[in-house]
Structures are given as structure tokens and as C-alpha cells.
Structure 1
């Protein structure tokens, strides 16, 4: 009976989340309910809750997590600066005469926005408003157009500076220390967010390359689904800014943020502050900065930051109670008893995360599932950077998988009425398959995630 309690806790919190209750309160409320009931029946030591104040204080004073509001501020400020508009227009002029050129433009701009903003919702909404009407007007298949926008908009999940990698890095760092203690090793080493940023570069570029190849193939096989722009279309586009002027500012910002991390000149948190200042300067350069804009950016940053930290607090309470019911030891014993060892354990974890992505957000999976399984998997000898990138690519699919894929909701909210929801669902399926193929490639060739960190930091 005792062995079933941790799994009952997990199932209960999933049901509460599906009922529509806020994530932070669902995690904390479920944990406190089980802790209270467990103490009444003598199966939970309530004195464990004495550790809660220090855990919550550790969350609030975590230096790594300061990067979250800074990166959010940078992303929202860039969104308000209308960087995407000039980028999309310039790329459309560059690729427009090629079949599938608009799709390629959206993919390239999505990659650049992911590397400069890292906010999936803002990217999907912006490109949905700017490029979807044009793609549909030029005869693009609704499924292909919507699928391309959703998939490229979700690149901010894996391409640094990704907020998801910041959160995952903090969770994995704690899990790595626990795994070291479990193996009797007392080492000050941790998994840094910088390691994950560097490790995600090659998989992120590989994902972009696969999207481009898919769009080229579709344009060749089904020319009517992705036609080229006509000369009249290209002439109708304003040419107020050159390609160089459109590309140079965001590229300089990307180099300043990622370059400082790669060169070892700044931590991710320090680089995030550079990015925030750079975004303000870019807004000034584009004459988009005003008190009204700054107020909107600060309000949005505060809302996202409060949401993340509330979820972190709820997750800390949940994980403490989960460990109080010996949930971690139970998972460890199950994984060790599985035939196939670490391969089977990793396969099951990846499969569970993929399936949970149909109903839960990546933040919920990161703070609920990863702390349960990561210490066990790391104790079984897996490379922490490789495991982190595997989880990040897997969680990226949660933005695209129906029925609760957030990218689908974002695009549905701004798509024209003539675009059916079924078109959006059909459009993302090939891109989900591509993401799973990249995940398989990472599993077969771990060097895709570990080679660059080893070269830079090894």
C-alpha cells in the first residue's frame, strides 16, 4: 500500500491540473493534502516539513533563476520593437522567388527570434499575424502554413537563450548533486545552464536544417502547396530597410548574449542582463521605446516571473512530500529492476514525457517529472548535459501535440476564421515526427549534444 502513495500523488496532481486549477496551487495543495493525511495515518513524518522554509528561501535566492526575468524582459522588449516585421519582410524578398520561399523565410526568422527572444508564445503570435495571411493569400496549403509557423515558433524551446533550458538547468543541477551523493561522491561540480546552452546549439541547428529540408521537399513534390511569390508581390513589399539593417541588430544581440557565454566571459545570468540592455538599445534604435511600451514590457515580465517562481515554490513542496513517501527510492528500485537497464529506463522516461506533453505544459513536466526521475537516471551513469538536451527536445513536442499544445492555441487565437483547427492539427504532425527523429538521432549519437561543450569547456 505504501508503495502506491507516490504514484497516487502524481496521478492526483495530473487530474487536478486537467481540471483547470493553477499549476502552483495544484502542486502545493496536493502535496500538503497528502502530507496531512499521511501524518494522520502514521505513514508520513510531518517533521520533514521543517525543511520547507530553507528550501523556499533557496528558490527565491537562486542566482541562476535571476536569468529568467532578464531573458523574459529581453524577449518582450524585442517583440515590442517590431524586429520580426522587418526580418520577415527582408527574408521574403530574399527567398520569395523560390518555391516554398515564404516557408523558408518563416523558418529562418523563427530561428533568429528563438536565438534572440526565446519566448514561444510571442514568436508564434507575431509570425501568425504577419506571415499567415500572406501565405494563405499566395496559395499556401493551410496545413503547411500553420504547421510551419507553430513548429518554427517553438524553436525558442531548444535554441539558446531558452528559458526552458534555464529552468531545466536549475532542476538538473540539483538532481546531479543528489545523484552524486547517492553514489557516495561529494563533488562541487554541477550542471550549469551554460553547459546546456552550448549543448543545445547543434541539436537546435539540426532541427532547423530538417525543417528546411522538409519544406524544400514539399515544395518540389507539391508545388501548389508552397508556390513562389510573383514579381508584383515582391514589389508590393516596402523596402524601407535593407537585409543588412534588418539582420545586423538582432545578430549583434545574439553574439553579445551567446558569445559572452561561449567565451566564458559571462555567466548566463550576466549574459541575460547584457541581452536586456541590448534589447532596450535596439528599441531606441528602431524608435519603438516609450513609457507606454516600457510599462507593458515590465508588466508582462513581472507576470511571467511570478508565475515561474510560484510554480517553483509549489514544485519544491511537492518534491519534499514525494521524497517523504520514499518516492525517489521507489522509482530507483523499479528502474534498476527493469530488463535492459538504463536503456529501458531512459526509453520509458522519454515515452512518459512525450505522452504527458499531450496534456501538460513543459513547465509542469520540468518541475514535477524531472526531479523524480533525473537523480535516478544520472546515478545510473548518464551524461547530465546529454540527458538535459534529450529532455528539452522531447518537451519541445509538448508545444505542438494536440489537444493542449500551447503553440496551437496561440496560432488559433490569431488565425483567420477560414483556417480550420483540423488544418492546424494536421500541419504540425510532420514537424512532430521531425522532432522525434532528431530525438532518436540524439539517442544514437550523444556527441551531437556533448561534443561542443567538451570542446569549449573540456
Structure 2
């Protein structure tokens, strides 16, 4: 037997012995203590490398059988098998999980189409004058690509092949380069569409749509904090991120632009208009000039379209009043004044009355009521509808319009032919991917489509992008489908194992012991939140986010109601916290992904040192989100009031 296996088994035996030593005596041990033992054994087995899904399933089946056997030995086996079937069926019948394979398929299509190389090059040139431009372009590329794929390993690996050699060649610090790649690649865990949010929503019973809306601004905030750190380091320590040489920031103009006299010193739109009208570019076809003029005017056309749509929505008339007036209530009858409304029924003659008591006068006959006809009560009377009147646009609309016009004027004032070339590069790399992501997120957040429908639309968009960039072939489709099926099967088996494990844990009473222990500490909501986040942060060292979500979230979520904590807000904090599972040693998967593709002189310790500042930024982001919950809760409250 290999030494590694002996080492692992010896550690396992030592931990098991320690667990039994810390457990109460057998006479005092309850089934709840066995549940805690099962939880500890599962964590140990996963740390030793056993498959997570089948470890959860096997442990759950064994301890569930023990729980049933302690109450009814004759039915223990049958009840255990029934539990396994029911839990597996309930997971497979969960509609929320349908979107997972579609989002994964979209990510693999975008990854296999190799769109990241063109995206990184265009962003690198566009941000050439920004301090730390290579690291800034790396983080932005990672954020966009991680959002499109959601696969951390793929993003870190590809950026390690593209960006790390370029940054090292430019003289960037190894630690800063490694930290920018690993931290940027992990943004896909938080920024929607994120598979983690789907898994948390299915586990905790929280709406995935609200999770996506809530995670949008925290993800953008974290990316901006990364960028601010990189720019600050480049300003304070230029040796860690030296500026690019002047010749590397020059954009080569195409032949048609070079034919225009003084193109380097001219703005694009006036230069193209004069070239079309006059003989300044006689050798350039008019079709080329017109097409480039159209490309240059695209920002203005997009601004006009957006503001026109906003004006139409802002001035839309109120809903027309209904044509039927509500029926009026009948007037009250004032019997004292004799003013009765409507015709009253006369008293019947010959009615039997109680005989008068002896010594009392007979009651006088009541005077016959006079039938007074009044106005009949108003019924549903049709009213002629009036023409809807458009509302005037609000002052805020005109302020936004004025600011936009000024900004557009400044933009075109400095929009040279070189910037036109950069804009064309972004138009061919960044914008298609960004439009696909915004279409998927927008359709989910604004309620136009369910996550499953939006995921299908995103998968189709990834297919269209692969075809448009001429990267689509049968091998790409086969590999993407195979990897999607493989990853989806892993996630589904993980859910089945987690469901069986959670049921066994509840049957043994482990959840009750934890609840009693936490409630017995008499914590405030703030203290409980800090305790939960610290536990999740520490679990991120040996475990991955999937294991933390499916094993420990069913333990934390039932306690949230006691402390009046919104599960949506708790999920956002957990999603931001779980990025430490990829950035915290010793089991920092991003570091190992990057080490596998980095040059030999880049050591694992250098990668770990580079990740530590970004881990500190993550903690700062968690603190900001907790202090200002509106960062994550404002958008869901506005959209889903």
C-alpha cells in the first residue's frame, strides 16, 4: 500500500479517536451526539479526498438506518431505502435545478469558443493609460468572463495562460499578477448568473430571482474594490506595476484612416464627414467611410434610442378610467321625519294582533304611510371615456438628458481615429458578450423570464456567439455537451447525497442539539451573524463552496427565523464569504489552477502571498455589505415590492 494511503488512514483514525474521546460516555450519548459524530466524520472523509456526493450518501444511509433501527428494528432497512428513493425523487423534481445544466452549457460554449483572448487584448489596449493597466484589464476580463461562464477553474486557467506571461514580461510583481488573476476569476461565484446562488436558493428555499437581483451590486462593488486596490498599488509602488511603454500604447491606424491627412490629430466623426464630402480621401471607397461613420455614431444612436424609450415611458398617460360608475349606496330612512326613500309596502289588513291588556287603552291605529317616490338609486351608468392625456416629463428626466448630452459631446470631442479602432475592437469582443449577459440577467431580474428560460436563452446566445466568431464545430459542441453532463451529474448527485445526509442528521436529532446550543448562548443577531460568517470562513479553508452549501446551510437556515435575519441577506453574505474557499490556503483551488499553467519560477507560496490582500478586500466587502444592507437589498425591494 502506498505511503500516502497509510498517511491518510492514520490521520483518519487519529481524528476518529479524538472525536470519540471528546464525545460523552456511551451511557450519556444520545442519537443527537451520533448526528454530530456523523457530521465530523463527513468533513474528515472529504478532507481526505473521498468523493463528496457518495460520502454524504453513504454516511447518511448508514446513520439513517441506525436511527430507524433504534425505534423499529423490523422496518429499519425498508424505511432507509424508502428515504433514499424519496429524497432522490424530490431533488430531481426540483424545477429550480433545471437552469443549472443550461447555465453550465452556456459557460462551456463561451469558454471553448476562445473568446477570452480577443476580449483581454481589446481591454488591454483600451486601458493602456490607466495605472496598472494590465492588472486592471485582467480583473475586468475575469469579471466579464466569470460572469458568462461561472466556472472558476476555467477562467483562472485561461487567464493564467494569457495574462500572467504578459504581466510578468511587462515587469509586474508576481504576487500582484497572481492575486489579480485568482481574485478576478472567483468573481463568477458571486456575480449572477451564478450556480452558487441557484444551489443556495434550492437549499434554503429562497427565490433565485431575488438572489440574482441582490447579488448584482455586491459583485460590482467587490470588483471595483479590486480595481481600486490595483490602481492604488500601481500609483504608490510603480515597481510592482510599471506603466506600459509609449510604443505599446500606440494603436496602428488602418489604411483608410492613413489616407486621410492628419488622421492622428483629428477627431473621427468630423474627419470622416469631411472625407466623404471632399477629396481628402479620394482613394478610399465611400462605402468604407460611411460604414466607419456609422460605427462611430453608434454611441449617439444608442443614447438617442435609450432616452427616447425613457421619454415614452415617462410621459405615458395614466390608465383610462372605467366606463361604469360604482353603484351608489341607498339613502338612509329617517322614520321620525316620515321621509322614507322609495315606495314602502302598506301594512296588511286583518292581521292578528295581541289583545290589549285590561285597563289599557287600545293602541291607536297607525296612520297609513304616504308613498313618496324618490330618485331611484344610481346603477352602473356608462360614462364617455375621455382622451388620455400624456404626462409631462419629470425634471429628473431632463437633468439626465442634459448630463448625457454633455457627456456625449465630451466623448466625441476626444473620439479620435485611434479610439475608433479601440472601439471597434471592443465592439467585436466585449459588447456581444456583455449584451448576452445583460439580456440573461435583465430577463431574470425584471421578471420577463424564469431562470430556466433565461438560461436556455443564454445557452442559445453562447451558441450564436461561437458561430459568429467562426469557432463552432462538432467537436466544440460535443465537448461542451460532455462537460455539461459531467458537471451537472456531479451537482445532482451532490444534492441527492446532501438531502439524504440532512434527513439522517435530523432523524438523529443533531439539528436539535445545535439549535439548543446556539440558542443557549443567548446571542444577539449581530453576534450570531458574526459567528456564522466566521464558521463559514474557516470552513472555506478545507472545503469547497458546494460542500459548505449542501452540508452546513441546512444547519444555519433554521436558526435565521429566531434571530429575525432575512435568508436573502444571509445568502448574499454567504456568497461573498464563500469566495474565500478559492482564495484561502491550504485548499485554495484557484492557486492550484494557476500553478498548473504558470512558469516554473512562479512558486505556490508567491501565489498564496498574492491572494492574501484580495482576501482582505473580500472581508472588507463583507463588512460593507453588513453595515449597509441596502447594497444588496435595495434592488430586490424596488423590483419585487
Instruction: Tell me the TM-score normalised to structure 1 length.
Output: 0.92
Contact 2:537 2:578 in 1 (8 A): yes
- Listed one character per residue, the Cα deviations across residues 356-401 of structure 1 (whole Å, up to 9, x for unaligned) are 1100010000000001111222343211210110111111111111
Q: What is the alpha-carbon distance in structure 1 between the residues aligned to residue 493 and residue 584 of structure 2?
A: 25
Higher fraction of helix: 1
Question: Judging changes above 3 Å, is the alpha-carbon distance between structure 1 residues 440 and 116 closer, same or farther for their aligned structure 2 residues?
Answer: same
Paired position in structure 1 for 2:113: 81
Paired position in structure 2 for 1:335: 518
Query: 1:231 Cα deviation (Å)?
Result: 3.4
Question: Are 2:106 and 1:106 equivalent residues in the alignment?
Answer: no
Paired position in structure 1 for 2:40: 11
Query: 1:37 Cα deviation (Å)?
Result: 4.1
Contact 2:67 2:504 in 1 (8 A): no
Q: What is the alpha-carbon distance in structure 2 between the residues aligned to residue 24 and residue 235 of structure 1?
A: 53
Query: Counterpart of 1:99 in 2: which secondary structure?
Result: coil
Question: Judging changes above 3 Å, is the alpha-carbon distance between structure 1 residues 43 and 394 closer, same or farther for their aligned structure 2 residues?
Answer: farther
Q: What is the alpha-carbon distance in structure 2 between the residues aligned to residue 203 and residue 71 of structure 1?
A: 21
| Residue from 156, 169, 176 that aligns with 1:144 | 176
| Residue from 64, 69, 74 that aligns with 2:96 | 64
Paired position in structure 2 for 1:178: none
Contact 2:167 2:177 in 1 (8 A): yes
Question: Judging changes above 3 Å, is the alpha-carbon distance between structure 1 residues 100 and 403 closer, same or farther for their aligned structure 2 residues?
Answer: same
Paired position in structure 2 for 1:194: 209
Question: Judging changes above 3 Å, is the alpha-carbon distance between structure 1 residues 372 and 91 closer, same or farther for their aligned structure 2 residues?
Answer: same
Give structure 1 stretches of 5+ with no counterpart: 174-190
Contact 1:193 1:268 in 2 (8 A): yes
Query: 1:39 Cα deviation (Å)?
Result: 4.9
Q: What is the alpha-carbon distance in structure 2 between the residues aligned to residue 292 and residue 52 of structure 1?
A: 38
Question: Are 2:48 and 1:33 equivalent residues in the alignment?
Answer: no
Q: What is the alpha-carbon distance in structure 2 between the residues aligned to residue 51 and residue 21 of structure 1?
A: 23
**Residues paired across the two proteins, number:** 441
Q: What is the alpha-carbon distance in structure 2 between the residues aligned to residue 416 and residue 316 of structure 1?
A: 42
| Residue from 493, 496, 499 that aligns with 1:313 | 496
Q: What is the alpha-carbon distance in structure 1 between the residues aligned to residue 455 and residue 558 of structure 2?
A: 28
Contact 1:400 1:432 in 2 (8 A): yes
Q: What is the alpha-carbon distance in structure 2 between the residues aligned to residue 70 and residue 291 of structure 1?
A: 18
Paired position in structure 2 for 1:219: 234
Paired position in structure 1 for 2:451: 268
Q: What is the alpha-carbon distance in structure 1 between the residues aligned to residue 220 and residue 178 of structure 2?
A: 21
Query: 1:237 Cα deviation (Å)?
Result: 9.7
Paired position in structure 1 for 2:542: 359
**Which is further off, 74-83 or 233-242?**
233-242
Query: Counterpart of 2:596 in 1: which secondary structure?
Result: helix
Question: Are 2:449 and 1:434 equivalent residues in the alignment?
Answer: no
**Which is further off, 27-36 or 444-453?**
27-36
Contact 1:141 1:226 in 2 (8 A): yes
Query: Counterpart of 1:225 in 2: which secondary structure?
Result: coil
| Residue from 18, 36, 50 that aligns with 1:21 | 50
Q: What is the alpha-carbon distance in structure 2 between the residues aligned to residue 72 and residue 192 of structure 1?
A: 20
Q: What is the alpha-carbon distance in structure 1 between the residues aligned to residue 565 and residue 598 of structure 2?
A: 43
- Listed one character per residue, the Cα deviations across residues 416-442 of structure 1 (whole Å, up to 9, x for unaligned) are 111111110000000101101111112
**Which is further off, 310-319 or 33-42?**
33-42
**Which is further off, 201-210 or 242-251?**
242-251
Question: Judging changes above 3 Å, is the alpha-carbon distance between structure 1 residues 237 and 356 closer, same or farther for their aligned structure 2 residues?
Answer: farther
Question: Judging changes above 3 Å, is the alpha-carbon distance between structure 1 residues 324 and 237 closer, same or farther for their aligned structure 2 residues?
Answer: farther
Query: Counterpart of 2:178 in 1: which secondary structure?
Result: helix
**Which is further off, 41-50 or 20-29?**
41-50
Query: 1:339 Cα deviation (Å)?
Result: 3.1
Paired position in structure 1 for 2:248: 233
**Which is further off, 191-200 or 238-247?**
238-247
Q: What is the alpha-carbon distance in structure 1 between the residues aligned to residue 585 and residue 230 of structure 2?
A: 22
Query: 1:250 Cα deviation (Å)?
Result: 0.4
Contact 1:385 1:449 in 2 (8 A): no
Question: Are 2:176 and 1:161 equivalent residues in the alignment?
Answer: no
Contact 1:98 1:229 in 2 (8 A): no
Question: Are 2:533 and 1:350 equivalent residues in the alignment?
Answer: yes
Q: What is the alpha-carbon distance in structure 2 between the residues aligned to residue 379 and residue 164 of structure 1?
A: 25
Contact 2:107 2:151 in 1 (8 A): yes
Q: What is the alpha-carbon distance in structure 1 between the residues aligned to residue 585 and residue 226 of structure 2?
A: 20
Give structure 2 stretches of 5+ with no counterpart: 1-28, 254-420
Aligned ranges for residues 256-405 of structure 1 at < 5 Å?
A: 256-405=439-588
Query: Counterpart of 1:224 in 2: which secondary structure?
Result: coil
Instruction: Tell me the TM-score normalised to structure 2 length.
Output: 0.66
**Which is further off, 70-79 or 22-31?**
22-31
Paired position in structure 1 for 2:359: none
Query: 1:234 Cα deviation (Å)?
Result: 4.5
- Listed one character per residue, the Cα deviations across residues 281-337 of structure 1 (whole Å, up to 9, x for unaligned) are 000000000001111111111110011011111111100100001122222222222
Question: Judging changes above 3 Å, is the alpha-carbon distance between structure 1 residues 18 and 232 closer, same or farther for their aligned structure 2 residues?
Answer: same
Structure number with larger C-alpha Rg: 2
Query: 1:343 Cα deviation (Å)?
Result: 2.4
